[in-house]
Amino acid sequence: MVKYWTKLTSLEVDTLDRSNTIVVLPVGSTEQNGSHLPLETDTKIVEKIVKEAAVSIQNELTILILPAFWVGYSPHHMDFAGSITLNTETYINVIYEICQSVIHHGFRKVVIINGHGGNTNHIKVAASKIGVETDSYVLAASYWELMQEEIQKYTQEKTIGHAGEAETSLQLYLSPDLVNENEVATAKEIKENDFLPPSSWLFQNFSALTKKGYLGQPSRGNKELGKILFNTAVKKVADLFLDFNKQIDNH
Ligand SMILES: [Zn+2]
């Protein structure tokens, strides 16, 4: 069964079987994605992945979906107009407090699914804090980290990147009306000088990496690739919900 938190009445939430319900918080951002993709890109992509994943396993689990959180940790995008950010402490606290509210109402299985690179470390910290302080379980995952193999296999850029091949493809598949095709057609490839292993972490301002706001080559993006990446993400996230449920019930 799939339910949407804010569509229910308080009484309906109260009557849900807590032990059999996973509450999911999709988290995105409002940040620049070059001049070809809208500011909502990360939020809408992750929201759609979560909904589709929940629907695909609705006969096995009850998934209760919270509204996608539309602000992320994006100080590295603030040199570009339209980007909105929270600072580290605020972001972690907001995620922590949303999850704590869910737990307050008796739910013990919470999953945060992330669609924005800047949030990756922060959601893990928020999940850890709750793990220390309660007997509930909060799992945090970024959708592209669940599908690294497929990204390697299907994309030329071999990374989720930023508003490049992969995200432009996803957007072309999910919301083609919000892709500025002229900007895509004239976009020149921007290569990041990345000498560091992906397992290391260096904070870098996006305006120092790219004057255009994207990395990679948006014109490599296409609907077919978007469909493959979306369906892969949906499957990975659905499997994650099932595995999480199994893991907690066997505890
Ligand atoms: Zn992003």
Residue 161 located in a structural domain: no
* Residue 40 CA, ligand 1 centroid: distance in Å: 9
Residue 154 located in a structural domain: no
* Residue 208 CA, ligand 1 centroid: distance in Å: 16
* Residue 82 CA, ligand 1 centroid: distance in Å: 13
Domain containing residue 17: CATH number: 3.40.50.10310
* Residue 21 in this model has a pLDDT that exceeds 90: yes
Spell out which residues have Cβ within 5 A of ligand 1, the ion.
Answer: 42, 116
* Residue 20 in this model has a pLDDT that exceeds 90: no
Q: How far, in Å, CA of 47 to CA of 50, rounded?
A: 5
Q: pLDDT per residue over 167-224, tens digit each?
A: 999 999 999 999 999 999 999 999 888 889 988 999 999 999 999 999 999 999 999 9
What is the pTM (predicted TM-score) of this model? 0.97
Q: Which amino acid is residue 201, in one-letter code?
A: W
Residue 139 located in a structural domain: yes
Return mean pLDDT, the chain: 96
* Residue 65 CA, ligand 1 centroid: distance in Å: 21
Residue 71 located in a structural domain: yes
* Residue 127 CA, ligand 1 centroid: distance in Å: 20
Instruction: Give the total number of structural domains in the chain.
Output: 1
For residue 193, the model assigns a pLDDT of: 81
Residue 72 located in a structural domain: yes
- With bands split at pLDDT 50, 70 and 90, how would you rate the model's confidence at 78? very high
With b for 16 or more beta-carbon neighbours within 10 A and e for fewer, the 157-180 pattern comes to bebbbbbbbbbbbbbbbbbeeebe
Residue 185 located in a structural domain: no
* Residue 162 in this model has a pLDDT that exceeds 90: yes
Q: Which helix (DSSP H) or strand (DSSP E) does residue 151 occupy? A: helix 148-154
Contacts of 70 (CB under 8 A, 6+ apart): 28, 29, 30, 40, 43
- With bands split at pLDDT 50, 70 and 90, how would you rate the model's confidence at 24? very high
Which residue segment(s) compose the domain that 76 sits in? 2-146+231-249
For residue 61, the number of C-alpha atoms closer than 13 Å in the C-beta half-sphere is 24
Q: How far, in Å, CA of 179 to CA of 132, rounded?
A: 43
| Average pLDDT of the residues in 47-55 | 98
| Average pLDDT of the residues in 75-83 | 98
Residue 136 located in a structural domain: yes
* Residue 60 CA, ligand 1 centroid: distance in Å: 31
* Residue 164 in this model has a pLDDT that exceeds 80: yes
Q: pLDDT per residue over 219-242, tens digit each?
A: 999 999 999 999 999 999 999 999
* Residue 206 CA, ligand 1 centroid: distance in Å: 11
| Average pLDDT of the residues in 104-132 | 98
Residue 44 located in a structural domain: yes
For residue 10, the model assigns a pLDDT of: 98
